[in-house]
Structure 1
Amino acid sequence: MDSPCAELVAVEVYANGARWTLLVGLDAGSPRVGVVRTRPRGAPAGVLAQRLRRDLVGARLEGVRASADAVCLEIARDDERLTLLVDGRLRTPLLAVLGAGDRVEWCAHPRALAHAGGAVGAPYPLPPGLTDAPRESREALERDGALLAERTADARGSRLRVALRRAARRRLTHAERKLRAIEADRARVAEVPGLRHDAELLLANLREVPAGAREVRVLDWALDPPATRTLQLDPAEGPASAQASRWFRRAKRLERGEAVAAERASRTRREVEALRSAVAAIDALDVRAAREGLDEALEQIATRLEALGVVLDREAAAAPRRRRADRPRLPYRRFVGSGERDIWVGRGPEDNDALTLRHARPQDLWLHCRGRAGAHVVVRLGRGEAVASELLVDAATLAAHFSSARGEQTVEVSYVPRRFVHKRKGAPAGAVVVDRDKTLLLRVEPRRLARLLESERPAT
């Protein structure tokens, strides 16, 4: 007893030493009955199939009654008589198990039952005109069974095709967005000559800058002809010499980040091209025309997508899509570090609080770039588990990257079990108090960083 798809019930029957699969189509208007030798492949057993198996497996099929718009399977189980009813008179065909006195014992579509004026435990008015099904020839039953099986395969193939395309498009959108962000980072390298030139101009005119000035006018001899320019300053960042040093450091960070960004851009560009090719292959697939080689074609596409990092559940994708409650937004991004361990990175100040205070467990490892604004980072650990050195460096690398120290070659990263991280009442979002922390002096490795950034997976 099974339900390969939402429109079909399959019942394995044994007759004269042979095994057949009786198919009952759940069509609105005209349910159809047929037989096939092999049960159609379909979705994994859901609630409907499990309930039918519990009630009917091992029972004896006594007969079939049918009318123009309904089918009844008469079943004997021990001393009990049951009826599996498919009523196609309703917009949503009704599938129900009836017991003594035609009382509804169970119904797969409660709304359809209520719409028909019935209720579980109450007698159900059987459709008029039900008569014993004529003993059709085996050829006619096999013909109708083949039609039902083909329709099931088409429905399954269409659902799987749609699910594969949805997953591929989602991954493609993510990859295209990532590529645009990487290219935007690379474009900022063009700022390097200007940053260095402004820093040199400021250092050459330090005597002209009064304390607390917000701007200074300097003569720029690099212009043709030389002209006066205004450099914007921020008194909160300290004296002019400190601001010039900061501009030099920013220029250096941008230059160092160019190599990592170029490698990431190349890899992401290849991913985008491969995903576009996969989407085009899915769009070109005609489910009905490719019926003979459909499973193989879809399997090849699914394998290509999985190689590109697309997470697929083939059986769930082939099943009818059900409405799900909206999943809550998670406050962190998920990366995969050494040993296939999850590393969570907060998305922003409020998300940092949510990650640290609500999602991280006391034994988890908490990291943050020391003395800098940045993301809270959490490594999931078991009770009494010590973090592996490679995993610690991976998490520290992400903490440095997702902070104001991004691009610097050497960064200090604090780490401590989450139980020693607290938040004071009234403190700003993301601000916490840390006790008993240790400090790791991290030398950022571009290849490690690139690997980690490419390891991002959907947060769960």
Structure 2
Amino acid sequence: MSLNWKEIDRILEELDLPDTHIQEVVQPDFTSLVLTLYRPGNRFRLLTSFDGAHTRLNRTERRFTKPRTAQRFAQFLSSRVKGGRIVSAAQIDRDRIVRMKVVRGGETSVIWIRLWGNAGNMIVTDADGTILDAFYRRPKRNEVTGGRFPPEEKPKRTSARLEEFEVRPIPDGQSLNATIDAEYGEKHDERALENEKKRVRALLTARIARLDARLSAVESAPDTVDDAVRFREIGDLIAANAHTIGPRDEWLSAEDFYHDNAPVEIPIDPALSPGENAERYYAMYKKAAERSKTRGQDVANLRARRDQAQADLDSIESLSIDELRNRFPPRAMKLEAKAAETPGLKYDSNGYTILVGRTATENDTLLRRHVRGNDVWLHTRDYPGGYVFVKSKPGKSVPLEVLLDAGTLALVYSKARKSGRADLYYTFVKHLRRAKGAKLGTVLPTHEKNLVVTLDPARVRRLTGSADVDE
């Protein structure tokens, strides 16, 4: 239940706002605003809430988290009245509208606080009544910058009807401000907790669905290089029968010389030439072959992340609102839908985290978003390959064994893999410089050191859990 006019008068009387100064403006969420007010010997917070049936204005002892980035209205109000002095504050015509006059440096602002349940709003005007900004911008009410407030007067309710309202019971020795703060604060906490649970539940449910989809896609990919070889065979068939393909053909009918000349129908892209269609299948073979080598690690990583998300979902009911916000920050949740999770592969070596990029895009994303200046970067010399990063620990050097593990992974995920041995160089990420005009992910290292790595199947098995190593 919102405050009635008698309660608003009582609250303003207890607050005694004239001659207080506005020290800080905080908008913790989309329904409330907190002013920190000060007069000699008395510093307190004034809460204005537009939370539907709990719309209110009262002194509060509750603490509110200040957002990292201030909301639009809070930024405006700070620039306009922070440091100003409240000259007067009173309810207008018993209409649940509070008029607060603020003076700062000879400039007068009027803050109108309308405590009308779902129609509540805070509107700031200049001394002439021109709207400067509003907590909620409502064009249909003309509550936008440049409008006028208050609007034309409406017929007033009869005095008899107004006199029916009473101030709610107040415990002995307690002010109405304290009563309202305790009563509505508890309800606010309950709703806030339920809203946080709802938000986190939706986030984790969506995360599990995404991981299930990715897991299904990885598990349905070719299990072995032999399965992926079929793409190469199809490319060969297209190349061998290129002379039979017409300009608008969408299918190629041919004899499969890899399988006893059995008839086969091959889908082709009519927008591409026969040679380009063959190259497309060769590229699919190459991609599938590379993917099959890391399939086991990909599946393990996805299953571990899926299990963790499910465990988080199961634990929601036992968490407090602070625990929910700390473990699942709202800002991170919004960014998660837009930004991919850590790309590439992730390994552990003696407590150190090793990140591996397998493509130019993964290399670039890791470099831009997931590593810092003191992390170590490794790459093969004279061979194309993935970037490998070792996440550093404050005050510690990367041990030789960890460096050898990272070097082995750099060799495994490079064109030097078949040779079984490669020269690598490594340096701190802060010594990398992106090459202008070069391909995505290309960097120019400085202060680099050399490392020679020979492929050790036992080390690879320990790191990846796979025996798929050319011995």
Aligned pairs (5 A) from 1:305-324: 312-313=328-329, 316=331
Which of 134, 139, 142 aligns to 1:117? It is 142
User: Match for residue 85 of structure 1?
Assistant: 112
CA distance 1:274–1:67, shift in 2 (3 Å): farther
Q: Which of 1, 17, 26 pairs up with 1:2?
A: 26
Is 1:72 the counterpart of 2:98? The answer is yes
Matched residue SS, 2:315: helix
| 1:165 equivalent in structure 2 | 201
Question: What is the SS of the residue equivalent to 1:44?
Answer: coil
Aligned residues of 1:331 and 1:347 also touching (Cα < 8 A)? no
Once superposed, what is the RMSD of the aligned Cα atoms? 6.3
* Structure 1 counterpart of 2:425, one-letter code: Y
Instruction: Name which of 402, 424, 444 aligns with 1:414.
Output: 424
Return the alpha-carbon distance in structure 2 between the equivalents of residues 6 and 420 of structure 1. 42
> Letter of the aligned partner of 1:74 in structure 2?
M
Determine the C-alpha separation between the residues in 1 that align with 2:118 and 2:130. Answer: 22
Change (3 A) 1:128 1:42: farther
Distance 1:69 1:437 in 2: 76
| Equivalent of residue 56 in structure 2, options 16, 33, 36 | 33
2:47 maps to 1:23: yes
- Give the 3 Å change call, closer, same or farther, for CA 8–326 of structure 1 in structure 2: same
Once the two structures are TM-superposed, the CA of residue 416 in structure 1 deviates from its matched residue by 6.3
Q: Structure 2: which amino acid aligns with 1:165?
A: R
The aligned residue for residue 152 of structure 1 is 188
User: Structure 1 residues 348 and 96 mapped into 2: Cα distance closer, same or farther (>3 Å)?
Assistant: same
CA positional deviation for 1:84: 1.9
Question: Which residue identity lines up with residue 415 of structure 1 in the other structure?
Answer: Y
Q: State the match for 1:202 in structure 2.
A: none
| Pair 1:279–1:63, CA change in 2 (3 A) | same
Q: How does 1:275-314 map to 2 (within 5 A)?
A: 275-282=309-316, 285=317, 297-299=320-322, 312-313=328-329
| Cα distance between partner residues in 2 of 1:5 and 1:302 | 14
Relative to the length of structure 1, the TM-score reads: 0.52
Alpha-carbon offset, residue 115 of structure 1: 4.3
Q: Is the 8 A contact 2:124 2:131 kept in 1?
A: yes
**Paired residue type of 2:452:** L
* Residues 1:396 and 2:407 aligned together: yes
The residue aligned with 1:63 is: 89
Q: Which residue matches 2:129? A: 102
Q: Which has the higher contact order (CA 8 A, sep 6+)?
A: 1
Q: How far apart, in 2, do the equivalents of 1:405 and 1:169 lie? A: 42
Range with greater deviation from structure 2 (153-162 or 116-125): 116-125
Q: Does the C-alpha gap of structure 1 residues 24 and 352 become closer, same or farther in structure 2, counting only changes over 3 Å? A: closer
Contact 1:13–1:19 (CA<8 Å) still a contact in 2? yes
Residues 1:71 and 1:12: Cα distance change in structure 2 (over 3 Å):
farther
Amino acid at match of 1:441: V
1:64 corresponds to which letter in structure 2?
A
Q: For residues 67-120 of structure 1, what are the alpha-carbon distances to aligned partners after superposition, in whole Å with 9 as ceiling and x for unaligned?
A: 7986324134356553222457898854332231223344344x42x4443554
Query: 1:31–1:70: 8 Å Cα contact kept in structure 2?
Result: no
**SS of residue paired to 1:82:** strand
For 1:154 and 1:119, the matched residues in 2 are separated by 33
Identity %: 19
Pairs within 5 Å for 1:429-444? 440-444=452-456
1:279 CA displacement: 0.8
Q: Counterpart of 2:58 in 1: which secondary structure?
A: strand
Amino acid corresponding to residue 103 of structure 1 in structure 2: T
Q: What amino acid sits opposite 1:124 in the alignment?
A: F
**Unmatched tracts of structure 1, length 5 or more:** 192-213, 218-227, 231-249, 286-293, 307-311, 452-460
Distance 2:166 2:44 in 1: 16
SS at 1:102 equivalent: coil
- Gap runs ≥5 in structure 2: 1-24, 171-175, 228-255, 263-288, 466-471
Whether the 8 Å contact between 2:408 and 2:460 is mirrored in structure 1 is no
Helix, strand or coil for the counterpart of 1:101? coil
SS for the counterpart of 1:5 is coil
Partner of 1:449: 463
Does the CA-based 8 Å contact 2:432-2:445 persist in structure 1? Answer: no
